[in-house]
Structure 1
Amino acid sequence: MTTPPFDPADPIGIDDLLTDDEKAIRDAVRTRCEAVIAPNIAEWFESGRLPVSEIAKEFGELGVLGMHLTGYGCAGLSAVDYGLACLELEAADSGLRSLVSVQGSLAMYAIWRFGSEEQKERWLPSMASGDAIGCFGLTEPDHGSDPAGMRTRARRDGTDWVLDGRKMWITNGSVSDVAVVWAGTEDGIRGFVVPTNTPGFEAPEITRKLSLRASVTSELVLNDVRVPADAALDVRGLKGPLSCLNEARYGIVWGSMGAGRSAFETALAYATAREQFGKPIAAFQLTQQKLADMAVELAKGQLLALHLGRRKDAGSLRPEQVSVGKLNNVREALEICRTARTILGANGISLEYPVIRHAANLESVLTYEGTVEMHTLVLGQALTGHSAFRG
């Protein structure tokens, strides 16, 4: 048996662990991103805008919106397939993976898992095609890591529900057709499917961001927003929104490695071409140490993502294990980007290269869908049996 040649793009041979179908899906998403996103992403990031509707339809045509869900126009693919798509989307930009993640793993997943048949039929097919955009309203100005303290309220008025409150840092908010809004009720926390053209619903866009600039981020303002009784999702308590967040966090485990891979590949190519002191900087020991460390952490993170994906497909993935993946992979991806920036020197801060853009984006990814502290304490509680979240 002949030993295959060493591949700098896959130093430990992770591709051998993927099926041909999985690699075909990954390659299809990569090809579409290279054709549609890559030529424009630096400009979108610099200008702080993203043509969400057009991109959503591109991704809908590709089949990645809600791709891990079954029925209602969704592709019904595996968790590993979805993870590989997230890897390629975030290699293009974290904002793109966020768009797809919020659409499929938060808004669509909430309706798919907890919605009525009428809600599913009304929203999921058009969301899967990208003709309708969704958002997920959980985080509030004063309540991020502790959603149990949310102030948004839904009260009964006859057979209707009336919602009042504010949500913050909501991806896709101002361009959405439907919002899944979580609110406190006399029966506990409930989710509501709210068309964004409902009177009293507003979604002003949040601007002046220095991270996730190629992404639409908004506030949701609800003033006496009246929805019918059948707008409520069939779930009570925090298990509803937290189960959705677990879906999105799983995508981040993969996606962050895409950002790290893009930064690593850029640094490797740059180090090979850039000459100082009469030879490529890739020939210097300190640069090789950086590249070797980056390659090792990238490979470990990809293996972890694949392992968690296989467990998810087998139905054995626990939330604590997703916390391990999110905590490790985002942290290491950010360090890879920072190290890559040093290899590029001054060019590392230019949008001519993707490195500083990925690094800036990952500063947001590090804290959304659960901060480093929260995932650390989730794991700490699982290891010790003691909760350290309060007091």
Structure 2
Amino acid sequence: MKKSAYFLYFFVVMLTTSCAQKKDSGINVPKEINFSTVLFIDDLQNPWGMAFLSDGSMLITEKAGELIHFKNGNKTLISNLPEIYVRGQGGFMDVELHPDYDKNGWIYFSYSSSKGSGSGGNTAIMRAKLEGNRLIDHQQLYKGVPNTGRGQHFGSRLEFDNEGYLYFSIGDRGNRDENPQDITRDGGKIYRINDDGSIPEDNPFVNRSGAKTAIFSYGHRNPQGLALHPETGKLWAHEHGPRGGDEINVVEKGKNYGWPVITYGINYVGTKITDETTRPGMEQPLYQWTPSIAPCGMAFVTSDKFPDWQGNLLVGSLAFQYLERLEIKNNKITYREKLLEGTGRVRNVKQGPDGYIYVAIEGKGIYKLIPQR
């Protein structure tokens, strides 16, 4: 994408964003929320992933290729990482603990890797264990192919479900015409594997000739948010649209989410991608943002520390630099609110085991939200 196209896009968006909430049907005027923020971890450049250990410490990935162990106020760099291909939107991305981490010690990572055929890189999934200040027992579980020198749309979030399956996303890698709608190709998909990298027997395309059998859903653009709904246990995802048309989807087995055949977005230069926003056999988003907020990271609130927010969805905005809180009723977004406006590009948000909300902001660090009573 040419720089001039990006500048044009963000100029148009900034002109419209001041009235974006008022334009959305059924969206109310923000109401007062009483909380304070503390800079919990400072001096981070692009904190992409966060994982909380049972001893109260935290693992943080830096996109540029670092893994940080934050414990008792100190940051320690972890060594013996996999080789990471850092280009554009790619680098060291998400981190997730195995549901039985305290028993087996497995830590899961998504990152861009140059291993395999072709020049450039693609998204890979690995698990390893932490021994002291270094990783051991590396096991690559999945690697998107082929490699490409394009710098966009690597994905990639990680999320375990309640049955122990691991889901991860790989964006369309900037090849929207070939990857998202083709189940024989990686890219533009959400995948499901067993914790050891093997393929679940009931994955939707295991018996389809030539298919990538790890695929769970397809027709995605660039999903950078995955979270389990706390009541239904279903996987929710959000993804970047082009200019307009960022989406929230409830991810269903084998379903096609339409990109780029249907979309509410347009090209960055203002031209049409398609005339279609619906088509039989393709899923509609639960919600779509126009103008785009550039969503990254998402978390459901279940904590007793935020009783008024329970069941709400939190989503980071890279483009407009705020944290968005969404109230949901019967799978409909009924209320939106901007939090932490102007603090910076929100890369991730997590609810910690202590019940507080942690927000990772580029160029600053990780903020802790503390409710005021």
TM-score of the aligned structures, taking structure 2 as reference length: 0.25
TM-score of the aligned structures, taking structure 1 as reference length: 0.24
Between Structure 1 and Structure 2, the one with more strand by share is: 2
Between Structure 1 and Structure 2, the one with more helix by share is: 1
